[in-house]
Amino acid sequence: MAKSSDVTRAVSRHTLSYMLCSVSEMFRHYGDFAAMDLLIIHGILNANVTNVMSDVNLNERFSGIDAVEPDAIKRGVSRAALSRFLNVPLETIRRRVTGLKRLEILTETSSGLIVAEGNAYGFGNNHELQMTNMLLVRKLLRDLRAAGVTGPDDLLQPRGKSVAQKARLPRPAGRNGPKRSHPR
């Protein structure tokens, strides 16, 4: 593909493909779990390691496939924050979390919910999914390179238009229907 100053559509196609393949693998591996439970578990897993990802030393220390983040350093997340992040009703989060705690997948600390390090299902320490993810990331990077993206500077927006100006995203629907993105 010829290099263009705006590769937005190509990046969108390839990253969407990566996300769908990742989710498909997650569903395939954990077929006994409802999709909503998997979304909640992985949303919590993500929140649990934001402090690790933003700390160079911790990120390096826990980067190996056998280096599992201990529960003591995980950042907990509240049900309300998870509800907002996933755009899932708080009552759904509460109900599902109760069931996942009964299965001993989730535990609660003073900082919030965490995915228990020693859970019997391997959430957060699934080597097969981690290796599959490595294959999918390599494919994504190859595809992006073929689309003309070799680094973050290739993703700069053309001058004069911000991301917000280029794409007006609708606000999530609330109890009173969809919110308008412009005044009446």
Query: Is residue 22 scored above 90 in pLDDT?
Result: yes
Q: What are the structural domains of the chain? A: 34-120 (1.10.10)
What digits encode the pLDDT tens for the residues 104-121? 999 999 999 999 999 999
Cα separation, 24 vs 43, in Å, equals 16
Specify the pLDDT at position 177.
45
Q: How far apart are CA 16 and CA 11, in angstroms?
A: 8
In angstroms, rounded to a whole number, what is the distance separating the alpha carbons of residues 61 and 55?
10
What is the rounded average pLDDT of the residues 26-47?
96
AA identity, residue 26: M
**Higher per-residue confidence, 170 vs 128:** 128
